[in-house]
Amino acid sequence: MIRTTAQGCGGNLSGAYGEFWSENYPNEYPKLKRNCTWHLTALPGTIIQLEFLDFDLEPVGLYSGYNYTACMFDYVIVEDPLSGTAWRDLCGNTLPPVMRGSGNILTVLFGSDTDDSYRGFKAQFQSNPCPDAINDCDHICIENQGSRSCLCYKGYILNSNDAKTCDDIDECAIRRHKCGQTCLNQPGSYTCDCDPGYRLMADGFACEDIDECTELADPCDQRCYNLPGSYACACDPQFTLTADESACEPVSKNAVIDNTTTAATNSNNTGYDKNLVLGLAIALAVSLLVLLLLLLHLCTKCCAKTAKTSKKKIPPKRRGSRVDVVPSQQHVNYVRQPRHWPGTAPDFMTSSAAPFSHMKRFTELPALSVQ
């Protein structure tokens, strides 16, 4: 079976069964000038039936010295377009009678003004309601060629064993809900709740944090800090929290008696001497600066020495048998040569003299005198 629902200001509903309600129901409808229309269409070839489940509109009465007997301000009108009949002057808090159309179509109109507002209404329609003789349905019975079919209201499901009993749907258990924090199952529906320290918002689903510091009357003696779902208290310098964690009391001057025991004497004590720490920090900074300057001086001296050394020319290595004197230079390049005695040239390298004949010169050397 087809089931439809609608909320807000008007709409089109069709099927074997449907529900609709006024704007903001079950809260008060807006204080606005409204003209809302619902077009209801049951199954083809059936008779539509309309029933109001809740009804609370502005009543007729005495206004500005005039006694109104008709619904002049907020009202509901039900029309049967096929027959041209209508049910008018529906207002106040009395449930209207059950209405049956001449066919499968009905129209519901709701009007309001800007002065007062009430809870509004909730209604349902269905096709071919069963006569009492065959109506054993838990909720809704629809006649179909002498037999009956059962339907359930929103939030219920038809029992598959007997096809007539309606069982509640636990939206919270199957997570078919919109609650931000806590879901509470209700017959045919559910409601939302919030954790401690939060409150339900206007939409009925989301939760917002409660600022206890601004909304509660003096939750703390001196300082208050709001927290998600809670709050915390603190004290000014020279004060400390009491056991209830909300009041503050002065710190005793004799809180520290034993010099060997380190204790905090107020809520602003950090456990160390700030002046000592500041002095140590300055000394460390000066030491680092001196070390940096010393490294810079050593680096400069080393770089200068390296540059001076690199300017000296390294004499090239040459092969030869004598010392070459280069007049164009200010110094003499000494070339390694074969060992020979001073004042003589190695004859065996340049003449045909007998080998080692030059050794005779050894005898001509002057004798060394020892004193």
| Residue 228 and residue 219 in contact, taking contact as beta carbons nearer than 8 Å | no
Whichever domain contains 23, its CATH number is 2.60.120.290
| Residue 86 and residue 66 in contact, taking contact as beta carbons nearer than 8 Å | no
Residue 273 belongs to a domain: no
Handedness of CA 165, 170, 171, 174 (dihedral sign): negative
Count of structural domains within the chain: 3
What is the span of the domain harbouring residue 237? 220-250
Do 100 and 64 fall within a single domain? yes
Name the domain boundary from 129, 153, 184: 129
Predicted pLDDT of residue 20: 93
Report DSSP state, residue 165.
Answer: -
Residue 300 belongs to a domain: no
Do 106 and 156 fall within a single domain? no
Residue 310 belongs to a domain: no
| Residue 323 and residue 332 in contact, taking contact as beta carbons nearer than 8 Å | yes
Predicted pLDDT of residue 308: 62
Do 56 and 141 fall within a single domain? no
Report the 10 Å Cβ neighbour count for 25: 17
Do 30 and 141 fall within a single domain? no
Do 33 and 93 fall within a single domain? yes
Do 32 and 139 fall within a single domain? no
Predicted pLDDT of residue 49: 92
Residue 41 belongs to a domain: yes
Do 41 and 115 fall within a single domain? yes
Report the 10 Å Cβ neighbour count for 52: 20
End-to-end Cα, the chain, rounded Å: 146
Residue 342 belongs to a domain: no
- The helix or strand, by DSSP H or E, that contains position 277, with its residue range, turns out to be helix 274-310
Do 41 and 103 fall within a single domain? yes
Do 62 and 159 fall within a single domain? no
Do 112 and 142 fall within a single domain? no
Residue 349 belongs to a domain: no
Whichever domain contains 161, its CATH number is 2.10.25.10
Name the domain boundary from 78, 111, 129: 129
Do 77 and 8 fall within a single domain? yes
Residue 294 belongs to a domain: no
Do 11 and 110 fall within a single domain? yes
Residue 84 belongs to a domain: yes
CA pair distance 219, 241, nearest whole angstrom: 13
Report DSSP state, residue 233.
Answer: E
Q: Per-residue pLDDT for the chain (371 aa), expressed as one digit of tens each?
A: 445 566 678 999 998 888 999 999 989 999 999 899 999 999 888 889 999 999 999 988 756 555 566 788 899 999 999 999 999 889 999 999 999 999 999 999 999 998 888 999 999 998 888 877 778 888 888 887 777 888 888 889 999 999 899 999 999 999 999 999 999 999 989 999 999 999 999 999 999 999 999 998 889 999 999 999 999 999 999 999 999 999 999 987 665 444 334 333 333 444 445 666 777 888 888 888 888 888 888 888 777 766 666 555 555 555 554 544 445 444 444 445 555 555 555 554 444 445 554 454 444 445 554 44
| Residue 74 and residue 32 in contact, taking contact as beta carbons nearer than 8 Å | no
Name the domain boundary from 129, 150, 176: 129
CA pair distance 24, 81, nearest whole angstrom: 28
